[in-house]
Amino acid sequence: MRTVAAWLFVLPFFTAGVAADSAKIELAGMAVLAFTSVVVLHRLPARAVERVFAATAVLALITIAYMAFGHWPAQGSTDSYDVQAWLFVATYVMVAVFAALFFSAALFEQVMWRVAVAALWIGVVSCVASRLSGHDVLVNPAYGTERMTGTLAEPSAWGPVLTVVFLLALRRRSWLHVALAALGTVLADSPSCFLVLAVTVPAYFALTARGPHRVAARCAVALAI
């Protein structure tokens, strides 16, 4: 169940460009898993209910307060914004459910590595093929060049994915995937991707450093962010 939950959790982000309803599949699947775990199998980790309830209460109160005292943009109907606001609540309540009931750091890292590498290979191959053939496949040609999109929503969405692949590849000493992440950064051609990579990689090494200078390094990272 934890493995299925992890795959469901990352599904919407990695398929946003090719599957419009993937978030609905995630919510429905996570609801079924939560029901099965709690009601059928009676598996309820300590403090899980309190954590989910606290997240739900905070998100609901923020949304209710905004709907009562704020205002939506002039474009579009009020009802459509109200629906999206409650979908926002449902989305992040699902994050709390996943964290409280199913999260495992080692398993989540394994799933992220597999799906991120697969998505990156698809993105790189489709982008290179598009540039060589002149036929746009899973790319964004809006700025005069075929920028890598792949199965993601847009080129800038690769920022966290490229960073995850780069860092995990370094830890695994997979130099092929280090090079692939670097190539993907160039093909995405997004300032956001360059910025995320430039900030996160030094931050990672500073935050995991051990030695007499680790406090100064972490303070420097906080100031940089």
170-179 per-position pLDDT tens digit: 999 999 999 9
Residue numbers of the chain with a pLDDT score lower than 50: none
Q: Looking at residue 210, what DSSP letter applies?
A: -
| pLDDT for position 5 | 94
| pLDDT for position 58 | 94
| pLDDT for position 217 | 76
User: CA–CA separation, 27 vs 91, rounded Å?
Assistant: 7
Beta-carbon contacts of 206 under 8 Å, excluding residues fewer than 6 positions away, are 214, 217, 218, 220, 221
| pLDDT for position 163 | 94
| pLDDT for position 41 | 86
